[in-house]
């Protein structure tokens, strides 16, 4: 049994990972501050089954508090840290860049310092496809230049990747940086497009349509992301940057059409100009992930949307889960 600390463990990706790691027989510490970005009851619902497991420990605390981190590390002595906690969202980062820097960069630095102090030598860091910016080369590969982020959020992720490299070099901490590509599925945050659009279409309300509808994303189903994280744990040695995507692109209008088909309802579309900070496309080259960690995404986009809507329909009876 390994002791694994997951920051942001009550969130969308984190809670799905918690459930998987518990099933695999690990002790899991969920370190989460239940940020008020959305209703905390949603996160509480995410981990309600995990709380019944004696191998699960919930630590409600903030990664910006070095004292809390050190107390947790001292008491729990994790073998591995999976750092998922972050202020998320490109558009929100334009409104409050200082907060994003504080949480995402200084929070990551705190974790690395605490790991150094307590001799914890293995970490997985959740980065983002946003670091590629409007990269002209498609698909995006890990050795592509990522020196031109176009949002504060992307810049904080790039800065955190550099910190991870520094601590690997100086202190021999094994770190895999996983660049996630537009994760979706059950427990998806309510502000994310597929969740938000599903709500609005079901309610007969207009959906905001930014740009011309040809902007595309590499949507990656949550189970495939969890697969990539778990397989990374098995190979965690040195410093590596790894794309976790589906390596297929879906245009915005195609995404809406897929939700319409699943719901059997038409969307009411309100068009708006493209938003600052939004990239035109994301598209993952996953050849490194396939070769290094035997990663193989299995869920097609339309199948993932159907799975999400089934989960959402089941949870609609709980108002805070909508």
Taking the C-alpha atoms of residue 237 and residue 249, their distance in angstroms, rounded to an integer, is 31
Tokens of 136: 């002209």
Taking residue 166's Cβ as centre, other Cβ atoms within 10 Å add up to 15
**Catalytic residue selected from 100, 153, 219, 221:** 153
Active site residue 153: yes
Task: Please name the residues in contact with 197: beta carbons below 8 A apart, sequence gap of 6 or more.
Answer: 207, 255, 256, 259, 267
Q: Which residue has the tokens 């982020």?
A: 149
Taking the C-alpha atoms of residue 311 and residue 138, their distance in angstroms, rounded to an integer, is 33
Task: Please name the residues in contact with 20: beta carbons below 8 A apart, sequence gap of 6 or more.
Answer: 226, 230
- 3-state SS of 58-89? EEECCCCCHHHHHHHHHHHCCCEEEECCCCCC
Q: State the catalytic residues.
A: 153
């Amino acid at each position: 049994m390994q002791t694994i600390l997951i920051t942001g463990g009550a969130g969308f990706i984190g809670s799905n990972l918690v459930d998987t790691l518990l099933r695999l027989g690990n002790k899991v510490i969920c370190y989460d501050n239940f940020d008020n970005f959305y209703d905390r009851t949603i996160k509480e619902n995410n981990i309600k089954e995990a709380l019944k497991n004696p191998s699960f420990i919930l630590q409600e605390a903030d990664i910006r508090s070095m004292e809390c981190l050190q107390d947790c590390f001292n008491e729990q002595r994790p073998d591995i840290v999976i750092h998922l906690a972050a202020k998320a969202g490109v558009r929100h980062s334009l409104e409050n860049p200082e907060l994003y820097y504080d949480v995402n960069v200084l929070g990551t630095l705190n974790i690395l310092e605490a790991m150094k102090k307590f001799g914890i030598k293995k970490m997985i860091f959740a980065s983002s496809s946003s670091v590629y910016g409007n990269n002209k080369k498609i698909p995006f590969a890990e050795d592509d230049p990522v020196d031109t982020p176009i949002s504060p959020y992307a810049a904080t992720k790039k800065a955190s990747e550099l910190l991870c490299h520094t601590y690997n070099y100086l202190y021999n901490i094994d770190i895999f940086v996983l660049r996630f590509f537009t994760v979706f599925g059950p427990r998806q945050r309510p502000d994310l497009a597929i969740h938000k659009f599903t709500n609005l279409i079901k309610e007969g309300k207009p959906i905001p349509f930014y740009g011309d509808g040809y902007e595309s994303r590499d949507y990656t189903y949550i189970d495939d992301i969890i697969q990539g994280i778990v397989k990374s744990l098995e190979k965690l040695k040195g410093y590596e940057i790894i794309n976790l995507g589906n390596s297929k692109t879906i245009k915005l209008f195609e995404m809406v059409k897929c939700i319409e088909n699943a719901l059997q309802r038409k969307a009411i579309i309100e068009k708006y100009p493209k938003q600052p900070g939004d990239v035109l496309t994301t598209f993952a080259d996953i050849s490194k992930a396939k070769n290094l960690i035997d990663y193989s995404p299995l869920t097609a986009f339309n199948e993932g949307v159907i799975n999400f809507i089934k989960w959402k329909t089941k949870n609609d009876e709980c108002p805070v889960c909508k």
